[in-house]
Amino acid sequence: MAKRIGMLGGTFDPVHIGHLRSALEVAENYALDQLLLIPNAQPPHRNAPQVSAQQRLEMVQLAVAGVDLLSVDDRELRRDKPSWSIDTLLSLRAELDAQDQLLLILGWDAFCGLPSWHRWEELLEHCHILVLQRPDADIEAPQVLRDLVAAKSVNDPQTLLGPSGQIAFVWQTPLAISATQIRHLLATQRCVRYLVPDTVFQYIYTHQLYQE
Ligand code: ATP
């Protein structure tokens, strides 16, 4: 029986319940065998994160501890190069059987930025793309992506066929939460409890992260 593996990459600076609740709902609703959260090492599209890669990784590890369907994959942090998603996809693909489904999970904002990604046109050769709604992101997809969606999307993520090549939009509990908002709250001495798991909340305060 073919496996179904999801991957959600991100800076996770820090990880928050918008990431985690989306990941868990996708994993449960679309019968994933495993969903991997993959922290970026050197995000190619953004400024350097405010805390170390090791600290971002530790927060994601704390956040998924004890949740069987979610795990952390640190391969991008072990690589001494920018975190190109195409490289991550290829290395995950190499570990799977040809018929296994690999689902690249992207929030709407990340999906809209896809055409700036390294070798982005090859991504669908190796995975399907699942797009999460992002209620806090008011962005329009460029025409090239609208054309791609018209050509490759299926209405129901349950009907994705084969190991790769299609796009589906998923429904998950909309949570208008971003890491930017959390960093801003912390920098202005406000409390981020309930926006991140309690273990991450403790970690942030123990290590005094994001408190300018
Ligand atoms: P920042 O505010 O620093 O840009 P972020 O909150 O967008 O961070 P990332 O680590 O950049 O978090 O996001 C990783 C992935 O998770 C991206 O695909 C992003 O679109 C998605 N994502 C982040 N927050 C949410 C959310 N609240 N709901 C759905 N998807 C989300």
| pLDDT by residue, tens only, the chain of 212 residues | 899 999 999 999 999 999 999 999 999 999 999 999 999 986 555 554 568 999 999 999 999 999 999 999 999 999 877 779 999 999 999 999 999 999 999 999 999 999 999 999 999 999 999 999 998 888 999 999 999 999 999 999 999 999 999 999 999 999 999 999 999 999 999 999 999 999 999 999 999 999 87
Q: On the CB side of 24, how many CA atoms lie within 13 Å of its CA?
A: 12
Measured in Å, residue 202 CA sits from the centre of ligand 1 at: 21
Here the tokens at position 56 are 């971002």
* 77 in Cβ contact with 39 (< 8 Å): yes
Here the tokens at position 196 are 């991140």
Measured in Å, residue 1 CA sits from the centre of ligand 1 at: 32
Among residues 122, 116, 114, 110, the alpha carbon closest in space to that of 86 is found at 122
Say what the pLDDT of residue 82 is: 77
Local structure of 149: helix, strand or coil: helix
Q: How far apart are CA 128 and CA 84, in angstroms?
A: 17
Say what the pLDDT of residue 180 is: 94
CB atoms within 10 A of CB 142: 14
Q: Considering only CA atoms, which residue is closest to atom 23 of ligand 1?
A: 19
CATH number for region 4-173:
3.40.50.620
Q: How far apart are CA 71 and CA 17, in angstroms?
A: 15
ipTM score over 0.95, yes or no: yes
Instruction: Report the pocket of ligand 1 as residue ranges, CB < 6 Å.
Output: 8, 10-13, 18-19, 22, 106-107, 109-110, 132, 134, 175, 177-180
Quick one: which atom of ligand 1 is closest to the CA of 109?
A: 20
Q: What is the dihedral of CA 106, 186, 176, 109, to 10 degrees?
A: -30
Q: How far apart are CA 203 and CA 201, in angstroms?
A: 5
Strand 167-170 with 34-39, pairing: unpaired
Q: What pTM does this model have?
A: 0.95
Q: How far apart are CA 136 and CA 176, in angstroms?
A: 5
Say what the pLDDT of residue 139 is: 92
Residue boundaries of the structural domains of the chain: 4-173
Measured in Å, residue 63 CA sits from the centre of ligand 1 at: 15
Q: How far apart are CA 162 and CA 100, in angstroms?
A: 8
Mean pLDDT score of the chain: 93
Q: Considering only CA atoms, which residue is closest to atom 26 of ligand 1?
A: 18
Residue of 15, 35, 42, 132 to test ligand 1 pocket, by largest number of atoms within 8 Å of CB: 132
Task: Give the burial class of 163: count Cβ atoms within 10 A of its Cβ; 0-12 exposed, 13-18 middle, 19 or more buried.
Answer: buried
